[in-house]
Structure formats: C-alpha cells, structure tokens
Amino acid sequence: MKTRDIERLYKEYILPTYTRAPLCLVKGKGARVWDLEGKEYLDFFPGWGVSGLGHCHPTVVNALKNQARKILHVSNNFLNVKQAFLAQEISKAAFPGRVFFSNSGAEANETAVKFARKYGSEQGRYEMITMRQSFHGRTLATLTATGQEKIQEGFAPLPEGFRYSDLNDLESVKKQVTHKTAAILLELIQGEGGIRVAAPEFVRELRRICDAKNLLLIFDEVQTAMGRTGKMFAFQHYGIEPDLLTLAKSLGGGVPIGACLVSRKIQKEILTPGTHGTTYGGNPLVCAAGLAVFKAIQREGLLQNAVKMGEFLGRRLEAMKARFSFIREVRGMALMRGVELLIPGAPVADKAREKGLLINCTQDHVLRIMPPINISKKILTAGLKILENTFEEIGNG
C-alpha cells in the first residue's frame, strides 16, 4: 500500500472539499510525524492547531486509554464525571461561568449564535456583528458569521442578521450597531484570516460598547486558546473578559470537542432545558482528553515554554524578514505566527513539505506557523532551518 493507492481511494470515495497534499500520515510523536512511506516531517501546523501539545501526548493517550476501559459514552440526560470536571477546569482557567460542550468549533460558535438570539429575543434583537476576514466555521450560521464571501458563495439564502465590520476599525463597528444588535463576535487573532491580531484599544472599546448597550461580547478562541499565545486564553492579554468564550481544536489534544463558556455575569437563564442539545457533546472520552490537556499544560509549565519558544520564533522570523525581500510582514503572538509574503505562499509551503517541514498557507500569501506549545528549542531550530533553506531556494529563483 502506497500513498498513491490511498489517493486513488480518495478520488473515488471522498467528496473533494479539500485541496489535499499527497501526504498520508500514519504516525505522530510530539512535533514529528511519519508518512506511509516512512518519511519523517517536522509538524509546525499540527492538525490545523488541534494537536497543540504535539501528536499523541502521553498524558492525553493514557487518559483516553483509561477512560475507554471504563465507559465511552454517557448520554446528556445523565451525569458524567469527566464533563463536570472539565467544565470546572475551563471556568477556573477563564472566568466564572458555565459550559455547553459540543463536538467542534463550528458547533461551539453555533451555540453562541443561538445564545445571542435567545438573549436578545424579548427585545427583538437578533443581529450579530462579526469581522471581515474572520472564520467561525462551516455550518450555515457560522459560515454566515464568517466575513469571507468565498466561503458563503452558492449557499444562499443565508440566515439573516449578520453584519460585518473591519478588525481594528472601531468606526466600522459603531456603524453596524443598531437597535437590533444582540452581540459582537470576533477572534482575537484571526487565524484563517492571515494571523491578524486584534489591537488592545479596539478590544477594550468593544467591551465598553457592549457594556453600554447591553450587547454580548463573544470571543472565538477556537484557534488561540490552550496556551497558543503564551497565556491559557488570548483574551488574558487584553485585560478584559468576554461574555461568551468558544473553544475547540487543541482543547481535546486530538479528539473532537467544542465548548462554549457563558459568564456567570449573565444572570438570566437563556438556554433552558430543551432549547439546545447534542448527542455526543461532552462525552466522557473527549472530556477525559480535555482534562489531560489542562493537566499537561500545568504540570509541564507549557505556558512558560510557549512564551519562551514564541519569542525565539518571532525573533528568527524577523531576522528572515530582514534577509529576504519577498517577506512583507511577520505577525502574531508567541507560537501563533504568520509570515506574509509578496509572492504566492502555497508553493513555499509545498517546497517546505518536500524538505520535511509542515506549515500552512492561508489567504494565498500568508504562511502560518503554529508549532506544538511543548516544542523544544532543538526541534524549533531544526524546523526554522528548513524554512530558511526553503526561502533561500526561492530567493535564488
């Protein structure tokens, strides 16, 4: 069995919703992965940010093994220990509140959209303001929340009530606030949008607007949470708290989980019994993995590691920018970095892959680099060396 055999099966049996690299991964350990032919790669974009602790982190694997021996699934009309503990862990790490668990980032945001609609329903408020270049998921509501036309094309009629403004442009937000506005939703660092960081003054002003007008402020931290920016959650860099926080990706350390945390400050009960639900969401298996992720971050001092390695990564990328004229800008925080090029990025990512380094390209020109937060300096240096070699070859034509 070879990669091309698997490619053939994909052609025949998998809907072609993705442009896929001809790379079939069969094994992973930390920041390293191996393909079907046994070739090794350094993975600086592990699972689109899902494997934030690297592949097959032993604490996560053991938690899954232990839980799998006891009980895999408990329906949501009963109690399960792991769900209760993980909700407590999230709330303690973020802010006092209660959690609804789902299976993905899109569903976590879908929960936030439904919450905002119900919250505003008595006063006829249902509109949500989101940012252009954002990404919130692929369900009908979340692709409408996503401020990118290419993602919405062909799916009309879209749900009503979404209005778009520009990240870091306060006036553009104020223009969209009406008597029907219920919430403002944004990513603190736009991931798919090209690693664009929300400015502190902008975010704090949004908090003021929401307080003054009784709107919900919702942060989509599906990509930025769990230590990625050097703090457990990106909002902790901003000195304010949202009303709702959505999580997924690295929360599960590799298994599918989503979560929407609702602040205790919202005193009215909004999503009451029967108003929202999920069959799988928050089952013991995935919550055991989530608990293991928190445990590993704390025990291994991974926030400190993300800060330290993040500084090193930022410095090295800035040095490359000074060296290669086709690098336009380096953006991001800690271990979430974007390198905007003046040339198409996909061929650069392809070339890096051929040399044994996995990175991502988004928005045509932005290389996205998000190594695991427990990465060692040695592996980080080795990966950056491959990136630099790739740039050298491109620079030489």
Ligand X SMILES: *Cc1c(COP(=O)(O)O)cnc(C)c1O
Give me the 50-89 binding string for ligand X, x by CB under 6 A, dash otherwise: ----------------------------------------
Q: Residue 135, interface with ligand X (CB under 6 A)?
A: yes
Q: Residue 136, interface with ligand X (CB under 6 A)?
A: yes
Site for ligand X in 150-169 (CB under 6 A): none
**Chosen residue from 43, 89, 127, 187 binding ligand X by CB under 6 A:** 187
Shortest spacing between CB 350 and ligand X, in angstroms: 22
Shortest spacing between CB 130 and ligand X, in angstroms: 11
Rounded-to-10 torsion of CA 271, 277, 280, 284: 30
Shortest spacing between CB 368 and ligand X, in angstroms: 11
Q: Residue 223, interface with ligand X (CB under 6 A)?
A: yes
Shortest spacing between CB 301 and ligand X, in angstroms: 26
The answer to whether residues 83 and 287 touch, using CB atoms and an 8 Å cutoff, is yes
* Residue with nearest beta carbon to ligand X: 105
Compute how many other C-beta atoms are within 10 angstroms of the C-beta atom of residue 216.
Answer: 24
Closest C-alpha to 355, from 99, 133, 41, 7: 41
**Chosen residue from 191, 242, 281, 282 binding ligand X by CB under 6 A:** 191
d(CA 27, CA 33): 6
Site for ligand X in 231-260 (CB under 6 A): 248-249
Q: Residue 131, interface with ligand X (CB under 6 A)?
A: no
User: In degrees rounded to 5, what are phi and psi of residue 328?
Assistant: -85, -45
HSE at residue 7, side-chain half, CA atoms within 13 A, is 10
Query: Secondary structure of 190-222 in the HEC alphabet?
Result: ECCCCCEECCHHHHHHHHHHHHHHCCEEEEECC
248 is written with which tokens?
């997924």
**Residue 180 DSSP SS3:** coil
The answer to whether residues 368 and 193 touch, using CB atoms and an 8 Å cutoff, is no
Q: Residue 222, interface with ligand X (CB under 6 A)?
A: yes
Residue 131 identity: M
Q: Which is nearer to ligand X, 345 or 379 (CB)?
A: 345
Q: Residue 137, interface with ligand X (CB under 6 A)?
A: yes
Q: Identify the burial level of 17 via C-beta atoms within 10 angstroms of its C-beta, where 0-12 means exposed, 13-18 middle and 19 or more buried.
A: exposed
The answer to whether residues 52 and 225 touch, using CB atoms and an 8 Å cutoff, is no
Q: Residue 105, interface with ligand X (CB under 6 A)?
A: yes
Q: Which is nearer to ligand X, 143 or 379 (CB)?
A: 143
Site for ligand X in 260-299 (CB under 6 A): none
Q: Residue 113, interface with ligand X (CB under 6 A)?
A: no
Among 66-74, 130-138, 293-301, 350-358, which window interacts with ligand X (CB under 6 A)? 130-138
Q: Which is nearer to ligand X, 251 or 307 (CB)?
A: 251
Binding site for ligand X (CB under 6 A): 104-106, 109, 135-137, 187, 191, 220, 222-223, 248-249
